[in-house]
Amino acid sequence: MASKTRAKAAREERAPAIAAEPPERPAAGGLPASLAGGAAYLKGQLPRLSAEPGVYRMIDRRGEPLYVGKARNLRRRVASYTTPAKLPERLRRMVAETALLEIVETHTEVEALLLESNLIKRLRPRYNILLRDDKSFPYIRIGKKDLRAAPEKPARWPRLAKYRGSRNEPGSYYGPFASAGAVNRTLNALERAFLLRSCSDSMFASRTRPCLLFQIKRCSAPCVGRIGEADYDDLVSQAEAFLSGRDSAIQRELAGRMEAAADDLEFETAAYLRDRIQALAQIQARQDINLPVPDDADVVAAWREGEHSCIQVFFFRAGRNYGNRAYYPRHDKWAADADILAAFLGQFYDNKPPPRLVLTSGPVADAGLLAAALGARAGRKVALAVPQRGDKKKLIDHARANARAALTRRLSENASQRQLLDGVVDAFGLDGPLERIEVYDNSHVSGANAVGGMIVAGPEGLIKNAYRKFNIKSAGLAPGDDYGMMREVLTRRFSRAIKENPARDAGSWPDLVLVDGGRGQLGSALAVLEELGIEDLPAVGVSKGPDRNAGRETFHTADGRSFNLPPNDPVLYFLQRLRDEAHRYAIGAHRTRRANAQTRSALDDIPGIGARRKRALLNHFGSVRNIERAGVTDLENVDGISRTVARTVFDWFHAET
């Protein structure tokens, strides 16, 4: 059902099943923007709505999504928005901004809930409770043995590795782990305990002698035949049993073998088994919590202070604690705790499989419906529970204490961040508080593979999902023309901003622009802003001090002033961090572009030649030069290359002859 729901979401985004017509124009001739007008528009849409379950979207005049909701009865649910007096202030504002209603009918309310979570994560509507920083989690994957492969091929020897992303590759997956550090520590111990290979297939195939991991007893070197296939399969089975929770049997077996080896005076074998047992014990000891833990469950606990919340998630798999992570969902102060937990769980498990049991710190809105939706997504039963006593209640209390401490730290950091932003306002003589600072820098090598980078900071620190890179495209720029690059970057950034958000609403427009450089870069920035008619956006240039020493930066403002801040000023340190982050981001983007350019081939530019045909041509001829020398008949002999494609390739290399 989950896959069908995602498919429905994709179809709906392209062409809504029932898309309401644009609102009738009021007497004044514009779309409804007032509360009364928005309510009247929604009331006018009721005759077009059915009593079926589904998902509704409210859209503003610019086409931006305001809210996504699900309903058991669409007509009844939308009708509740037509009486503004009964709505909280947040929904009153939403109704006032509504200019368009879009509807998708579903077969069941469970399917509507799945679709709602999917659309909220993708569209991020302004008035929904939003989960931030929903990155994928790392897993440990043991590949599946391919019996059809030859004994010397990598596929014959399953690999133990960290894995992140969609789980499409065959094999066994264990996790999720809360962080890369947690999975790396576990992997290191597993390599010592089971000696499974962790190298890539290409490295495995190219080895002629054991690598360093074999020397330090973290691999059994199947690549060069240091272990038999049956013995390696035993190690794979033991690793899978251990990660599935059957660790006591594995330890008993190893302990018995160690004692037998010692009795037979095979002390080297006994020491090897002892090291494996110690590695297993190390994994079991990394439990950061001294309570009995469930076999397979997530513990979700929330702590709230006004409009700020922290939700801690602890992951328990196979009776082991795989770590925890804190989340800070966005909501307003009127949101109910049960609604926050429900919205969080729906979005959190949208791209990851839920465990069989989810323990929460409080009631969850529509818990039965949510459990059914999670079960449909996982393909098995999923239970939601609020422990009231016993060890599970202690786990919830422990997670809630962590959530409270994390939120306290975050609010303290935000207060410090606000003080620094206010300090920037004072230092540059700006008006009003700063909510968004954009910092720009360029990176290139003698003008080659030039990239511009933009980083963003606000009251909650760096806003990494707002970072942008700009591949410099202007062909007329002289190599190393930093001023021209800055002009192109800012022109593209603010031309698009004017097009997408001409009203300059808060959130997407900066309150301050910082450019890395002196008066020249600042002049380029000011010229772009003037050409685009942006007159009230402050811009400041940051140039490095003598000998490029940190702490002696000079700041240049649009009114011609240049000044330095005191060496120990916290605001100076803050601006240095922003400048360095922009520099790091731009350099990283440049290096990525340069690396991609180095791996490009002349075949990449030939129409109709994709990755598969390119690989077939290179495998057949060995090099691009040989392909260039080949005739049409030779090209036709390559698998997957028709006469038409062969002629295209030949003509590409012989266009001038």
The whole-angstrom separation of Cα 471 and Cα 450 is 6
The whole-angstrom separation of Cα 340 and Cα 307 is 11
Token representation of residue 484: 């021209």
With tokens 């038409």, the residue in question is 644
pLDDT in tens, 104-138: 999 999 999 989 988 998 888 989 988 876 677 88
The whole-angstrom separation of Cα 535 and Cα 538 is 8
Nearest to 173 by CA among 106, 117, 243: 243
With tokens 């990598």, the residue in question is 154
Helix (H) or strand (E) segment spanning residue 284:
helix 267-285
Nearest to 298 by CA among 444, 396, 179: 396
CA angle (27 as vertex; 24, 30 as ends), nearest 5: 60
- DSSP class of residue 307? T
* Mean pLDDT, residues 287-314: 80
Where would I find the H helices in 429-536?
482-500, 519-531
pLDDT in tens, 162-206: 988 777 788 888 888 887 877 888 888 888 888 899 998 888 888
Q: Are strands 54-59 and 100-105 parallel, antiparallel or unpaired?
A: antiparallel
Q: Name the amino acid, one letter, at 620.
A: H
468: alpha, beta or left, given left = phi > 0 and alpha = psi -120 to 50? beta
Quickly state the pLDDT bin for 655 (edges 50, 70, 90).
Answer: low
With tokens 């919590």, the residue in question is 289
Beta-bridge mates of residue 440: 454, 515
CB-facing half-sphere around the CA of 386: CA atoms within 13 A: 10
Query: What is the average pLDDT value for the chain, to the nearest integer?
Result: 83
Higher-confidence residue: 341 or 622?
Answer: 341
Nearest to 79 by CA among 41, 43, 35: 43
Tallying the residues shown for the chain, one arrives at 657
Nearest to 129 by CA among 344, 361, 403, 346: 344
pLDDT in tens, 310-365: 999 998 887 778 888 899 998 888 888 999 999 999 999 888 889 999 999 999 99
Nearest to 456 by CA among 385, 386, 380, 507: 507
User: Is residue 27 predicted with pLDDT exceeding 70?
Assistant: no
The whole-angstrom separation of Cα 251 and Cα 278 is 10
* Mean pLDDT, residues 519-544: 90
Q: Are 316 and 322 in contact (CB under 8 A)?
A: yes
The whole-angstrom separation of Cα 627 and Cα 641 is 13
The whole-angstrom separation of Cα 37 and Cα 133 is 36
Was domain 602-653 assigned CATH 1.10.150.20?
yes
With tokens 């059957």, the residue in question is 246
The whole-angstrom separation of Cα 573 and Cα 551 is 8
Assess whether the previous peptide bond of 176 is cis (omega < 30° from 0): yes
- Measured CA distances, 369 to 105, 113, 120, 377, 456 (Å): 17, 8, 18, 12, 39
Q: Which residues neighbour 590 within 8 Å (Cβ) at sequence distance 6 or greater?
A: 443, 444, 445, 449, 450, 451
- DSSP class of residue 253? H
In the 3-class helix/strand/coil scheme, how is 320-355 assigned residue by residue?
EEEEEEEECCECCCCCCHHHHHHHHHHHHCCCCCCC
* Mean pLDDT, residues 408-428: 87
Helix (H) or strand (E) segment spanning residue 111:
helix 109-123
User: Is residue 56 predicted with pLDDT exceeding 90?
Assistant: yes
All structural domains of the chain with their residue ranges = 2-123, 139-285, 296-407, 437-597, 602-653
Superfamily designation of domain 2-123: GIY-YIG endonuclease (3.40.1440.10)
Q: Are 554 and 579 in contact (CB under 8 A)?
A: no
Where would I find the H helices in 46-102?
74-79, 89-97
User: Is residue 561 predicted with pLDDT exceeding 80?
Assistant: yes
Quickly state the pLDDT bin for 591 (edges 50, 70, 90).
Answer: confident
pTM (2 decimals)? 0.66
Q: Name the amino acid, one letter, at 580.
A: D
* Mean pLDDT, residues 454-472: 90
Q: Are 532 and 493 in contact (CB under 8 A)?
A: no
CATH for the stretch 296-407 = 3.30.420.340
Token representation of residue 142: 């043991």
Higher-confidence residue: 2 or 421?
Answer: 421
Quickly state the pLDDT bin for 649 (edges 50, 70, 90).
Answer: confident
User: Is residue 559 predicted with pLDDT exceeding 60?
Assistant: yes
Q: Are 226 and 196 in contact (CB under 8 A)?
A: no
| Neighbouring C-beta atoms of residue 179, cutoff 10 Å | 15
Quickly state the pLDDT bin for 598 (edges 50, 70, 90).
Answer: low
Query: Same fold for the domain at 296-407 and the one at 437-597?
Result: yes
Quickly state the pLDDT bin for 282 (edges 50, 70, 90).
Answer: low
With tokens 């040989």, the residue in question is 626
pLDDT the model gives residue 7: 41
Of 3.90.1300.10, 2.40.50.140, 3.30.420.340, 3.40.605.10, which CATH number belongs to 437-597?
Answer: 3.30.420.340
Q: Which residues neighbour 95 within 8 Å (Cβ) at sequence distance 6 or greater?
A: 35, 38, 39, 42, 58, 81, 84, 87
The whole-angstrom separation of Cα 290 and Cα 395 is 10
Q: Which sign, positive or negative, has the C-alpha torsion 330, 336, 342, 343?
A: negative
The whole-angstrom separation of Cα 469 and Cα 452 is 6
